[in-house]
Structure 1
């Protein structure tokens, strides 16, 4: 026997009771509805007869007003009531509504119209006295009293009929309520008995599943249940046994996924460690070294190049390479990834051509952006040519690119902020702070290594007069031109700086006093040959005075070196300007004057 048939047989008494209850309740409900409809019709009839009586009153009122006043507007209630009465009486006429009495009421109203209303209206049109005489006969009052009596009798009959209908409806409602209670109780009892019987039989079958499920919950493997019982129980037992086998397989897959997740967590840990190291970097050069160590680990099985975008040169310059790649500068306009703003794999993508200046073979270009700024590209190739990047690597590549982009953006921002703190905003040369730091570093190096170190101090002659004559804009233009010449003439490793105002300095590691003096003279000669103009106005000849000093005993401190160069500069000023003067050997008293106490 199937479980469906077992349940159907258990519920059969309940369904029989439901059908019987439906038949009984349907009959009782129809009787209740009929009684209610008849009561509603009777109430409507009472309302209608009341409306008829109101129209009769309006007839009498309108006629009386006209007889008294003689004005036609007093007949308006009379005319309205006379027009409405036929419709109201027609609505009331019908089976079971005392048609004979309604006929008598209609006849009395017509008689009052013919014998009373029309003669009095005609008489009033002739004279008030004649109309009054007709009224005093009392004929109209007799007829209206008869109408009122008939209406009262009609209303009494309908009221009595309504009371009978209400009594019948109440009786029907009581019978319906009792029937509902009886049928509902019987149905509930039958349902409870059928449910208990069915539940007892089914619970025995499902008890085996409960015990088996508990064993599975306790971690037991190889759990199976007996397949005895109804057909559905047998099917369910087979499904449970199949599920138990599938659960064993799923547990094995879960262990595999757990291992995969552990590997992914390890990768995330390495990515977080990479982010920490990049945050600790203080320059792009440091960041590049970290990238060259981290990218082969984060992107296993690849070789590639990370190129940063140099906006001033409009080039993609190699920043980090790994896997034996060689990076070359390429124009950004030739990279399809930067144009489209998405990763591009020329050759693998159906429509993607090779990048201009890109490497041969299969590679993938991934653009690096941060806050709308183009940072560069990451160009990847499989370690073994002819193979593609793995699906796992492509899945984690966006996260790596995002982390690298944020790190590069932070390092570039640090570089910009650093340049703002160590560079003079007008000329682009190093400022006093950077010059002092370099003095400390280079003097320490010179002391340790014995290498020569010299300092050139430079001042523009009569610069105040230039500002007063041509304005500060012309003075700034002259300073910018002079700083460009100083930067071009400065050898590699030197530090050209503008300590302030019209003063410039050039720190020369590896140059002795003679070499530094020759360099100062070459700079002076070059500047003296200029003829500057600004805004179409000639600024005339500009000259500079230079002082040169070498870091050697007794000038064994940075401040003493600076003071010696300044003293040589002042000497050039005193000797007539437009000249380079080298610092002379100092006697002990002069050396003490240059050395801070």
Structure 2
């Protein structure tokens, strides 16, 4: 079979389906036109029934107006309706779609109208000129109303029947439309399916010789390892296939080398991105503790296959303290025994350091990287690799990580020092006024949110000016330091001991009632009273403090709490000093 014959044969099912779809559409449209025509006739009949009722109502209105007013002009609607309604009745009776029941209703409607004209309308019209009382009595008798009520009942019954028939016709038309849509949808689906099957079959027959070659080319283009394509078909095709197979082998070999290099580069870039993310996270940290938590999460990811720890110098620089740890536990060396800290470089790889002894008590292979920043030794990054870890690669990664961690720790230490300087009083080490106000605002908001208590103790050193004038400002500073130490020792956890200024001190007590705050204030007063202060070998005499205690009321503000505590403090001063006064 030739190709053109195959293509023509493949088109025959489409032509047959198109013809069938046309016939289905034609038949469905004919049925729908018939139903719509029936609906139109029914609507015309409904309009005729409504027009008939309108004419009768106009006739009745005209007669009633004439009886009441006596003016002949009121009879115009009656005569107009009397002329028009027979034509409407005839049109309805001549309709070929009326059923026997509908015609019976029309006959009764005709009879009622004629009876109303004979027995009511015409006698009232004749009696009104000479006997208006008789015409009025006819109206009051209610015979006309009864006849018209019967007429309305017949009209309503006929209207309901026609309306139901119209609804049924509309529903039938909708069902036929839905059926037509379904038939066309099925025909379209079958046509589409047949088109797909025919296209697939023809494509398979026409492209079979090139399928294997195309699949191999696609695999090569998608960077997959393609097998050799079977040589078949004409000579030209076999030559093309052989050339393609040789080209594929070379491409695959080159691609494997490229993929290996790209994988190493991608891994390195990903590792550097993670290192950069660690740097960003450490820059966003607010404290050394928060930085240690970040490093605990990040270092196992940046140094996979290791257990390790981050150690920092203590304040005396004679111990290494844990800042972060991951993996299996490890012992901590002392600064004097750590070769990495002594030499200032990464230490511990036996292959690179064959002459260096391990740290005392250390038998496993490990790597230690000292942490330096701006000439200062901050600590040590120490890892223990798994047996199969590439030590040279780990050493390079450890050095990169150590540099980033050292910079981050130096920044956090500087940030912590600056923060402490900004919130601490330089003389006493207590919090300053700015930090106290921030904690007061937060404490008031927490107290309002939870309904818990918030208390404040305000204290002042008695006769502090006299102490300064007698012994000098250095003695006064010594007294301030000792009093602040006593206050700091008695301050409970979570409280804020502060020195707003001069000889005034404040103790903010979240979650403490007024009674508890008053008891604590008494302890502070007693502790200060028991102090024995000297300066340059000279006794300074007894130092006492006056204290005011206040508790935040419901809906109160921080300023109001401070004012209440100050007023209580002034009351303690006025009461003789060296006492505790609780605000009302």
TM-score using structure 2 length: 0.54
Tell me the residue number matched to 1:583.
Answer: 583
Tell me the residue number matched to 1:85.
Answer: none
Matched, 1:516 2:520: no
User: Could you say what secondary structure the match of 2:278 adopts?
Assistant: helix
1:236-247 to 2 correspondences below 5 Å: none
Matched, 1:502 2:506: no
- Post-superposition Cα deviations, 1:52-84, rounded to whole Å, max 9, x if no partner, equal xxxxxxxxxxxxxxxxxxxxxxxxxxxxxxxxx
User: Could you say what secondary structure the match of 2:430 adopts?
Assistant: coil
Instruction: Tell me, in whole angstroms, the C-alpha distance in 2 between the residues paired with 1:331 and 1:571.
Output: 57
Relative distance call for 1:313 and 1:264 in structure 2 (3 A) is closer
Out of 363, 366, 382, the position equivalent to 2:369 is 366
Out of 279, 303, 307, the position equivalent to 1:275 is 279
Tell me the residue number matched to 1:572.
Answer: 572
- Post-superposition Cα deviations, 1:107-139, rounded to whole Å, max 9, x if no partner, equal xxxxxxxxxxxxxxxxxxxxxxxxxxxxxxxxx
Instruction: Tell me, in whole angstroms, the C-alpha distance in 2 between the residues paired with 1:401 and 1:582.
Output: 56
Q: Is this contact kept in 2: 1:347–1:354, CA < 8 A?
A: no
Tell me the residue number matched to 2:320.
Answer: 316
Residue 248 of structure 1: CA displacement? 10
Q: Is this contact kept in 2: 1:317–1:330, CA < 8 A?
A: no
Tell me the residue number matched to 1:423.
Answer: 424
- Post-superposition Cα deviations, 1:493-529, rounded to whole Å, max 9, x if no partner, equal 1111111111111111221111111111111111111
Q: Is this contact kept in 2: 1:347–1:353, CA < 8 A?
A: no
Relative distance call for 1:330 and 1:459 in structure 2 (3 A) is farther
Matched, 1:559 2:562: no
Relative distance call for 1:569 and 1:354 in structure 2 (3 A) is farther
Matched, 1:305 2:309: yes
Tell me the residue number matched to 1:342.
Answer: 345
Tell me the residue number matched to 1:288.
Answer: 292
Instruction: Tell me, in whole angstroms, the C-alpha distance in 1 between the residues paired with 2:335 and 2:563.
Output: 49
1:446-461 to 2 correspondences below 5 Å: 446-461=447-462
1:351-362 to 2 correspondences below 5 Å: 351-355=355-359, 361-362=364-365
User: Is 274-283 or 398-407 further displaced after alignment?
Assistant: 274-283
User: Could you say what secondary structure the match of 1:424 adopts?
Assistant: coil
Residue 345 of structure 1: CA displacement? 2.0
Instruction: Give the length in aligned residue pairs.
Output: 335
Q: Is this contact kept in 2: 1:545–1:577, CA < 8 A?
A: yes
User: Could you say what secondary structure the match of 1:391 adopts?
Assistant: helix
Instruction: Tell me, in whole angstroms, the C-alpha distance in 1 between the residues paired with 2:332 and 2:427.
Output: 30
Relative distance call for 1:558 and 1:291 in structure 2 (3 A) is same
User: Could you say what secondary structure the match of 2:346 adopts?
Assistant: coil
Instruction: Tell me, in whole angstroms, the C-alpha distance in 1 between the residues paired with 2:332 and 2:439.
Output: 31
User: Could you say what secondary structure the match of 2:311 adopts?
Assistant: strand
- Post-superposition Cα deviations, 1:441-495, rounded to whole Å, max 9, x if no partner, equal 1121122222222111110111111111111111111111111111111111111
User: Could you say what secondary structure the match of 1:474 adopts?
Assistant: helix
- In structure 1, stretches of 5+ residues that fail to align are 1-244, 585-597
Q: Is this contact kept in 2: 1:346–1:355, CA < 8 A?
A: no
Tell me the residue number matched to 2:479.
Answer: 478
- In structure 2, stretches of 5+ residues that fail to align are 1-248
Tell me the residue number matched to 1:408.
Answer: 409
Relative distance call for 1:370 and 1:582 in structure 2 (3 A) is same
Q: Is this contact kept in 2: 1:346–1:353, CA < 8 A?
A: no
Tell me the residue number matched to 1:27.
Answer: none
Residue 561 of structure 1: CA displacement? 1.1
Relative distance call for 1:289 and 1:484 in structure 2 (3 A) is same
Instruction: Tell me, in whole angstroms, the C-alpha distance in 1 between the residues paired with 2:318 and 2:507.
Output: 30
Instruction: Tell me, in whole angstroms, the C-alpha distance in 1 between the residues paired with 2:407 and 2:495.
Output: 33
Relative distance call for 1:571 and 1:352 in structure 2 (3 A) is farther
1:139-154 to 2 correspondences below 5 Å: none
Relative distance call for 1:481 and 1:334 in structure 2 (3 A) is farther
Residue 410 of structure 1: CA displacement? 0.7
From the CA coordinates, give the structure whose radius of gyration is larger: 1
User: Is 477-486 or 333-342 further displaced after alignment?
Assistant: 333-342
Q: Is this contact kept in 1: 2:532–2:542, CA < 8 A?
A: yes
Tell me the residue number matched to 1:434.
Answer: 435
Residue 286 of structure 1: CA displacement? 2.2
Relative distance call for 1:546 and 1:336 in structure 2 (3 A) is farther
Residue 397 of structure 1: CA displacement? 1.7
Matched, 1:487 2:488: yes
Instruction: Tell me, in whole angstroms, the C-alpha distance in 2 between the residues paired with 1:276 and 1:496.
Output: 34
